[in-house]
Amino acid sequence: MTTAPTAAKGLEGVIAGETEICNVEQTSLIYRGYEIADLAANASFEEVAYLLLVGEKPTSSELAAFKAELVAERALPAQVCEFLKGSGDLVNNHNAVPMDILRTGVSILSHLDGDSQDNAPEANLRKSKRLLAQIPTIIGHMQNSIDGRDFVAPDASLSHSANLLKMMTGENPTPEAEKVMDVSLVLYAEHDYNASTFTSRIIASTLGDMHGAVTGAIAALKGKLHGGANEAAMDMLSDIRRDIGPENDTAKITEWMHNAFAEKRKLMGFGHRVYKNGDHRAPILHALGRKAAEARGDEFVKLFELGETVQKIMEDEKNIYPNVDFPCGMTYFTMGIPVPQYTPIFVASRITGWCAHIMEQHANNRLIRPRVAYVGPALRNWKS
Ligand code: SDX
């Protein structure tokens, strides 16, 4: 008699591959050997992007060349601009959300990229840089279409983060806003075998191409249990504010949360498959976001105070900690970014991690094809 195989639900605890790119542990988060707090304090997003894509920290001349390549690739082909002109209508009058527009935008880019069918390392690196440069332009053009404004051209004088913010609003961000955005992109850039990265590697393992793998990864990131949680976390805080009124009354917040616990609702921005005692990225972003809130005024400080009370109740009563998406929601809100763009901005960063993983998969490929435990009906005859 054979024993039926058992499955790890959600593949929890399964080691599904090897990587040189990132290590996620409760004790540390490392990108290619560098600790996340070190990177957040000392590296720009462009430097981290280079580190992830190329494998080593750039020299100053390598960094300058990399930045120049990104700037040169920011403009979008006319066909993608045409699609984005209509994206405001799709979002405002139909059923699209910005993550869907971004997914389709990346998919259209593949039709127009001269390297799209080539999985060679050099072609993959060229495509990684193009996608990294083009995704903020898709987000910016889309936001202007949603708001009924003309597109804002990419600004070659600005960093990746400042350009992203300018293209969404038409205004140069303050140095403080640029810094907060830059650190958030550093924190979001990579996280080993999370669901969207695993999706991209599965697609790459069939010898599927980079744009296809990224398109699939965007679809995976959209879900609320994954990257969509930064939007959902902010929506949840807005719901709490609506229900408790303008003051941060701890008794009312506690009651709101006890209702959520009783109804077994998941609190967005809390919990993590790997980090059971806290996400390394969350306190870094929380501190930056709170400082931005203090600079912006009472309304934003009150939002952070609400979040801190929610966090304390979760920790005290459930022993569940915030993940990076919880402070991200409050931070991007403080910066005036429209909530439905929070997860697309996550993409603008995670594209680096995805592309690094797609290249690693193509460089040492074997088809990813696990088994599954069959739990359906026993063998039966069609005619009887
Ligand atoms: C990201 O994987 C990555 O690395 C992802 C990411 C990245 O950088 O790529 O870090 C980014 O996706 C962060 C996660 C964003 N998602 C959310 O914030 C959504 C809310 N969180 C959860 O639904 C949950 O914590 C997950 C999905 C993040 C993790 O799910 P697991 O590992 O399957 O854990 P679980 O759902 O089985 O929870 C274990 C227990 C359960 O209680 P019991 O049934 O055992 O009593 O903890 C409870 C859960 O009910 N729990 C929560 C909770 N998270 C876990 N209860 C209430 N609210 C929560 N948020």
| pLDDT tens sequence across 300-319 | 999 999 999 999 999 999 99
pLDDT of residue 376 exceeding 70, the answer is yes
| 168, 253: one domain | no
Do 145 and 78 fall into the same domain? yes
Residue 173 has a pLDDT of 97
Can you give the residue range of the structural domain that contains 154? 22-223+340-363
Average pLDDT over residues 205-220: 98
Structural domains counted in the chain: 2
The rounded distance, in Å, linking the Cα atoms of 69 and 80 is 20
What are the tens digits of pLDDT across the range 125-141?
999 999 999 999 999 99
Across all residues in the chain, what is the average pLDDT? 97
Residue 1 has pLDDT above 60, yes or no: no
> Which residue do the tokens 């709170």 mark?
290
Spatial separation of the C-alpha atoms in residues 97 and 340, rounded to whole Å: 7
Give the mean model confidence (pLDDT) for residues 105-130.
98
Domain assignment present for residue 312? The answer is yes
Q: Work out the average pLDDT over 292-302.
A: 97
Is residue 63 domain-shared with residue 126, that is, in the same domain? yes
Name the pTM for this structure.
Answer: 0.98
Of 334, 350, 376, the one marking the end of a domain is 334
Is 258 one of the catalytic residues? no
Ligand 1, atom 3: closest residue by C-alpha: 194
Whether residues 218 and 237 share a domain: the answer is no
Q: Which atom of ligand 1 is nearest to the CA of 261?
A: 57
User: Can you tell me the mean pLDDT for 150-170?
Assistant: 97
Ligand 1 binding pocket, CB closer than 6 Å: 10, 191, 194, 225-227, 229, 266-273, 320, 323, 325
pLDDT per position as a tens digit, 45-62: 999 999 999 999 999 999
Confidence of residue 384 (pLDDT cuts 50, 70, 90): confident
Is residue 4 scored above 70 in pLDDT?
no
Q: Do 359 and 237 share a domain, yes or no? A: no
Whether residue 10 lies inside any domain: the answer is no
Which among 235, 240, 265, 270 is the best mutation to test ligand 1's pocket, defined by most ligand atoms within 8 Å of the CB?
Answer: 270
Q: What is the CATH number of the domain that holds 240?
A: 1.10.230.10
Atom of ligand 1 nearest to the CA of 188: 8
The confidence score (pLDDT) of residue 6 equals: 81
Q: Residue 270 has what DSSP assignment?
A: B
Instruction: Report CA(288)–ligand 1 centroid distance (Å).
Output: 24
Q: Residue-wise over 9-42: b if at least 16 C-beta within 10 A, else e?
A: eeeeeeeebebebbebeeeebbbbebebeebbee
pLDDT at 3 over 70: no
Q: ∠ at Cα 162 (86, 283), nearest 5°?
A: 110
